[in-house]
């Protein structure tokens, strides 16, 4: 009797159950070279789940996947995806997380092009909450970009979630997660110090988050290169072009994009405060403009009435 053929992890059938868990596969929702993600359901509660299985064969990639699962077990925050379990299938690690309805920020930008400061504030606030929590636990993300920010649609509106902690690293550690001579990250959003493989702290995440803010408001990436090396060179040597349409917010973002970490906002909270000050000013000015729309016609009416009254008095004389 022949042995049963091994499961194709990238093409699990609907109804298949994860061994050791009450998780039933519903459908495959995405697949990359590194991983496959399935929509699944917990049979005991009916709760929807996301099953993510690593397809990586490189030892370092597998190690990052496992470290992400270990980190997510330690993180519990409303703006970070909830972790429910992990295991191994045919030597490939997997993790089970809550299922989220919505779309990534990169998908939103592809559809809309840009966001207004008010729209962006909803996203920005949630990401700041997640990052401040991670930083308070001595953890830097190292891969902040639109595709790793998920906009969850809930009955109460939108909620931002910071995803993919596969490249996250404790700040105060000598653990090397990257082979010597290699630089990890997404070149369009990497800080200058990350581009050169220097020791990183939370100010590197401040830079990457500022890159995301810049793209959301301007509709273009901060730097676009013909290659990854070209993009990293620009982070090191070229100055950002100010966002002419949003000068006040541009000034806030450009401070977060300073080449030297010492010249940037030192914490995410500092960037957040500067942004919120501009939002408050923007709302105040919008309120004044709205009031002026009403005040000016009323003032004109009052002047006209007074003029007619004075003319009437003059004619009686």
Q: How far is CA 141 from CA 90, 97, 160, 267, in A?
A: 29, 18, 16, 14
Of 86, 46, 49, residue with least CA distance to 38: 49
Cross-sheet strand order for the sheet of 83-89: 23-31, 35-42, 48-54, 92-98, 83-89
Instruction: State how far the Cα of 185 lies from the Cα of 187, in Å rounded to an integer.
Output: 6
Other C-beta atoms closer than 10 Å to the C-beta of 135 total 19
**Is 143 tagged catalytic?**
yes
Active-site option among 27, 143, 164, 201: 143
Of 98, 107, 152, residue with least CA distance to 127: 152
Q: How far is CA 140 from CA 30, 38, 183, 203, 256, in A?
A: 27, 28, 15, 9, 16
> How far does Cα 62 stand from its chain's mean position?
24
Instruction: State how far the Cα of 226 lies from the Cα of 212, in Å rounded to an integer.
Output: 20
Instruction: State how far the Cα of 80 lies from the Cα of 207, in Å rounded to an integer.
Output: 20
Task: Answer yes or no: are the C-beta atoms of 82 and 75 closer than 8 Å.
Answer: no
DSSP H helices, 238-316, are: 247-256, 268-316
Burial of 128 (0-12, 13-18, 19+ CB in 10 A): buried
Q: Which residues are catalytic?
A: 143
């Amino acid at each position: 009797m022949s042995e049963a053929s091994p499961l194709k992890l990238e093409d699990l059938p609907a109804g298949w159950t994860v061994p050791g868990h009450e998780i039933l596969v519903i459908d495959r929702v995405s697949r990359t070279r590194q991983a496959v993600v399935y929509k699944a359901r917990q049979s005991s509660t009916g709760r929807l789940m996301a099953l993510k299985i690593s397809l990586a064969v490189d030892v370092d990639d597998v190690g990052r996947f496992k470290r992400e699962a270990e980190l997510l077990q330690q993180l519990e925050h409303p703006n970070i995806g909830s972790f429910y379990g992990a295991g191994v299938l045919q030597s490939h690690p997997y993790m089970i997380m809550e299922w989220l309805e919505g779309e990534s920020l990169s998908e939103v930008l592809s559809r809309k092009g840009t966001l207004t400061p008010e729209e962006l504030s909803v996203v920005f606030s949630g990401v700041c909450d997640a990052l401040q929590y991670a930083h308070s636990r001595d953890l830097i993300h190292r891969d902040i970009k639109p595709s790793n920010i998920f906009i969850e649609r809930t009955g109460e509106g939108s909620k931002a979630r910071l995803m993919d902690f596969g490249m996250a690293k404790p700040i105060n550690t000598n653990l090397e997660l990257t082979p010597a001579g290699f630089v990890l990250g997404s070149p369009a959003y990497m800080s200058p110090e990350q581009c050169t493989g220097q020791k990183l702290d939370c100010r590197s995440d401040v830079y990457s988050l500022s890159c995301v803010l810049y793209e959301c408001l301007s509709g273009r990436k901060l730097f676009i290169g013909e290659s990854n090396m070209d993009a990293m060179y620009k982070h090191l040597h070229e100055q950002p072009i100010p966002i002419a349409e949003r000068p006040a917010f541009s000034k806030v973002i450009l401070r977060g994009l300073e080449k030297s970490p010492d010249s940037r906002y030192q914490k995410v909270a500092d960037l957040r405060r500067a942004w919120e000050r501009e939002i408050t000013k923007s709302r105040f000015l919008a309120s004044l403009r709205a009031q002026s729309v009403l005040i000016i016609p009323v003032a004109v009416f009052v002047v006209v009435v007074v003029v007619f009254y004075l003319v009437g008095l003059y004619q009686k004389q």
